Structure 1
C-alpha cells in the first residue's frame, strides 16, 4: 500500500489556556469536528486535536493542546507551553472571575513560551449575551494594552471559532514570512515540511529552511 505524501507545508503547535469551565475543550471540538459538545467534561491534564487549514495558499497542520484549567494541573500543563507557536487564551464572558484571572494566564504564557508566540484572547459563550458579565470594549482594551489579538466566539453556535484559530495562524505565517520567527529554533513551535515527491516519505523531524538557489 502506497504511503500518501504529506499534504501540508507547515505544522503549527497551539495551546489553549484559561480557567476551568470557560469552554476550551468545546472550542477545540467545534474547530476540529465542527460539532457541539453537549456536555463538556473537565479536562484532566491535556487533550489533543489536529486539523489542516490553508493560509495564503499554504496548507498548515495545527497541532492543538487543550490544557486543564484547574490549579492542581498547572504543573503538568505548564510543560506544554514550551514550543508553542500560538496560544488561545480563553475566558467566559458570563463569568467575570475567569476574566480577572487572565493576567495570571498571560504571565505564564509570556514566561513559558518564546517571545514570538502569537497570543489571541477569546471571549467564549458569546451566545449568552443576556448573561454577559464582561463587556466587549473592556476585553478589547485589555487585549490592546497587552499586544494580543482579540475576538468573542461561541463554541455552541460556532460563531468566530474558525476565525480564532485562523487569525492566529495568519499572524504566525506572517512572522515566518518577515523573518521574525526562526524555523530552525526548537522553541518556535513551527515545523516546515516541504512537499514530498510522489511515492516519497517524509520523517516527522523539522526540515531546515532552504534559502536562495540550490545550484
Structure 2
C-alpha cells in the first residue's frame, strides 16, 4: 500500500476542506499522534501544547484532493473553556486517552459530553486508546474500552504513536466517515504550502487514497 501525506510544497488545483480535532487529557499523546500521522516521526520528549496547534495535510479520498486541518487541542483543564472554539465546527474528533492511566480513560465521557454541548454539527467521534505498545503498564483492558465504546455507539481504536501502530488507519477511518457526513466546501490548494512523505507498505497502491 502506498500512502502519501502532504504537509509545505506548492500544490495547485482545488480541494475539499475537512476540519478534525484531537482532544483528551494532557500527556495522552495527542501531539505525537498528529505528528506521526502528518510527518511519520515520533519524539519521546513531551511538548506542552498551549491552547491548540493546527496541522494542515492534503489527502486523496475517492480520487479527490481533500485539505485537512487537524486541531491539536491542549488537554490542561484550566484552558479547556478557551479551546472549545477550536473544535466547535469540526467534522470529526478523536477523543484520546492513555491506556496506562485510568484517570484519562475516566475522562473520555466528559470530553464527549463537552463536544456535544459546544458542537452543533454532530461531528464523527472516535475514542482512541493510545500508547498501546506499553503492554506491561496497561491499566485499561482493551475489552473494557471496547465495551464502553459500543455502549455509546462510538468506534474504538488503539494506537501507538511511538511505533506508528494503527495511526494512519485511525485517521483514515475518521476522515472517511467525516467525508461521508459533511456538505462539500472547497479551497484553492495553491494557497497551501505542503511537503510530501510516502510510505511503502504491502498490498494496495492507495494508502493516501481513502476509499
The separation in 1 between residues aligned to 2:59 and 2:141, in whole angstroms, is 31
**Are 2:146 and 1:152 equivalent residues in the alignment?**
no
Structure 1 segments unaligned to the other structure (5+ residues): 176-180, 184-190, 203-215
Q: Of 186, 195, 211, which aligns to 1:192?
A: 186
**Are 2:92 and 1:86 equivalent residues in the alignment?**
yes
Task: Say if 2:49 and 2:73, in contact at 8 Å, map to a contact too.
Answer: yes
Two-structure CA RMSD over aligned residues (Å):
2.0
Counterparts of 1:10-29 in structure 2, within 5 Å, are 10-29=16-35
Q: Which moved more, 1:73-82 or 1:120-129?
A: 73-82
Task: Say if 1:92 and 1:125, in contact at 8 Å, map to a contact too.
Answer: yes
Alpha-carbon offset, residue 114 of structure 1: 2.9
Counterparts of 1:129-148 in structure 2, within 5 Å, are 129-148=135-154
Q: Residues 138 and 9 of structure 1: is their aligned pair in 2 closer, same or farther, counting only changes over 3 Å?
A: same
The separation in 2 between residues aligned to 1:182 and 1:10, in whole angstroms, is 10
The separation in 1 between residues aligned to 2:163 and 2:144, in whole angstroms, is 23
**TM-score normalised by structure 1 residue count:** 0.79
1:209 maps to none
* Residues 15-52 of structure 1, C-alpha deviations (whole Å, 9 max, x = no match): 11100010001111111111002212121111111111
1:40 maps to 46
SS in 1 for 2:122: coil
1:64 maps to 70
* Residues 157-202 of structure 1, C-alpha deviations (whole Å, 9 max, x = no match): 0111111111011111222xxxxx344xxxxxxx334x88xxxx78
With CA pairs under 8 Å and 6+ residues apart, which has the higher RCO, 1 or 2?
Answer: 2
SS in 1 for 2:176: helix
1:5 maps to 12
Alpha-carbon offset, residue 147 of structure 1: 2.0
* Residues 94-131 of structure 1, C-alpha deviations (whole Å, 9 max, x = no match): 00000001111010111112343111111000110111
Instruction: Give the aligned length.
Output: 183
2:81 maps to 75
**Once superposed, which parts of structure 1, at least 4 consecutive aligned residues long, lie more than 3 Å away?**
none
Task: Say if 1:25 and 1:40, in contact at 8 Å, map to a contact too.
Answer: no
SS in 2 for 1:9: strand
Structure 2 segments unaligned to the other structure (5+ residues): 1-9, 192-211
Pick the structure with greater CA Rg. 1
